[in-house]
Amino acid sequence: MYQPSPALLKKYADVLVKFALRFGKWVKKGEVVFVQLPECAKPFYLPLQQAILEAGAHPMMEYLPDGVSKHFFEHANDDQIVFYPAHFLHGKVAQMDHIISIVAEADMYELKGVNPKKLTARRHSRKEYMDRRREKEHAGKHSWTIWMYWTPAMAKEAKLSLKEYRNQIIKACYLDYKDPVVQWNKTSKYIEKIQKWLDKMKIEYIHVTWPDADLQVKIWADRKWLGGRWVNIPSFEIFTSPDCRETEGRVKFNQPLYVYGQMIKWIELHFRKWVVTKFSAKENQKLLKELIAIPNANRLWEFSLTDGRISHITKFMWETLYDENMGGKYGNMHVALWASYNDARVGNVAKLSKKQAEKIWFNDSAEHKDIVSTAPKTVTAILKDGSKRVIYKDGQFACKIR
């Protein structure tokens, strides 16, 4: 079995501890870092713990055995599925300063066959825990990051050799550079240039077209564009949470959505008067129906584009963390129907109450699933004065980044 070199794993650990956490700054001495690491990513356990210790922080390592999730859902009753250990979870939020979560699958279809209602119920039972984390994050007292480890099962699903799959991760995270953290800081500056360019235009609407799409989305004046965030490693997307009340049109996605150990393929959505009035999928439409039935999930809460000049991801990886950041010839567009990003609002989101967020059309949900298309597309901005400007074509934004 392939064993990554200690030097490679040290670089990866340094990216997470010295770049991704604490909003792009180093973890501080005395801070608590909670780590969720599955068994199939075991080679990364010690290097990651070492990086946290070298920073003077305190690691709290949660080691997750492979193959236990399905067993739980097969044997737990309804009360056990939604049980909320308040004292434990609230204490965890109070104690930890940072979270590192590792995406790694020993079996891509472990949850296949599990009733989707059980999966969504479990997710929603943890909503208060996620709300408390977000509140602490918006107050600048908590940070988190999620990243991916390569496994044979994940490579097989992507129809790549383990070496090919691993190399996509190495290149995407700049682990082939002498100092990946330096390169990440450069990329963050490129993304920041695009964000400022978009914000300066004060876009009223965006219109997306290709043969399988004709979609218009309202941005609204109090929104801003986000990107280059440290919560996802890698992250190349530039996105916002638009004003969902004026979403009109249709769009078909050529990339599958992987959720709950199942694949939903060829999703098509039709919007009329800002809600999904029609939807379909060539595979697992029943699961898509369950997801859209979640309160307020039938509206568009995120719109995102990735510039192919920035992203080093050229292969579909069968994992949203990477697929929503795919570059390649035509870049990618993705949308999300479930939770929105309150920090896409101009101003101090830490002081934004739940009721205030609802008034300016942000959605609070336990779910956030990104649906991706890598089709060649043209994105046109409609500005406040009514003029139009092509802002994205041939996989890149219409501005210089270097």
* DSSP 8-class letter at 232: B
pLDDT at residue number 361: 54
CA distance 258 to 265: 9
Contacts of the segment 216-219: beta carbons below 8 A, 24+ positions apart: 216/246, 216/247, 216/248, 216/249, 217/242, 217/246, 217/247, 217/300, 217/303, 218/242, 218/243, 218/245, 218/246, 218/247, 219/243
* Integer Cα distance of 229 and 246 in angstroms: 27
Which pLDDT score is estimated for 328? 86
Measured between alpha carbons, how far is 316 from 108 in angstroms, rounded to an integer? Answer: 15
- Closest residue by Cα to residue 223 from 108, 302, 161: 302
Query: pTM of the predicted model, to two decimals?
Result: 0.87
Q: For each of the chain's 402 residues, which pLDDT tens digit applies?
A: 567 899 999 999 999 998 899 877 889 999 999 999 999 999 999 999 999 999 999 999 999 999 999 999 999 999 999 999 999 999 999 999 999 999 999 998 888 888 888 988 998 899 899 989 988 988 889 999 999 999 999 999 999 999 999 999 999 999 999 999 999 989 999 999 999 999 999 899 999 999 999 999 998 778 899 987 778 899 999 999 888 788 999 999 999 998 877 889 999 999 998 889 999 999 999 889 988 888 777 888 899 999 999 999 999 898 888 999 999 889 999 998 877 777 777 776 656 666 655 555 566 665 678 999 999 999 999 998 899 999 999 999 999 887
Give me the half-sphere count of Cα atoms (radius 13 Å) on the Cβ side of residue 10.
8
* Cβ–Cβ < 8 Å for 341, 244: no
Which H or E run includes 154? helix 152-157
Which of 24, 37, 390 lies closest to 235 in space, CA to CA? 24
Task: Please list, in sequence order, all residues whose beta carbon lies within 8 angstroms of the beta carbon of residue 182, skipping any fewer than 6 positions away.
Answer: none
pLDDT of 331 reads 93
Q: Which CATH class is domain 6-149?
A: alpha beta
What's the pLDDT at 311?
Answer: 94
SS3 346: coil
| Residue 119 host element (H or E) | helix 116-125
- CA-CA distances (angstroms) from residue 373 to 62, 107, 285, 377, 384? 35, 25, 18, 9, 28
Domain ranges of the chain: 6-149, 182-397
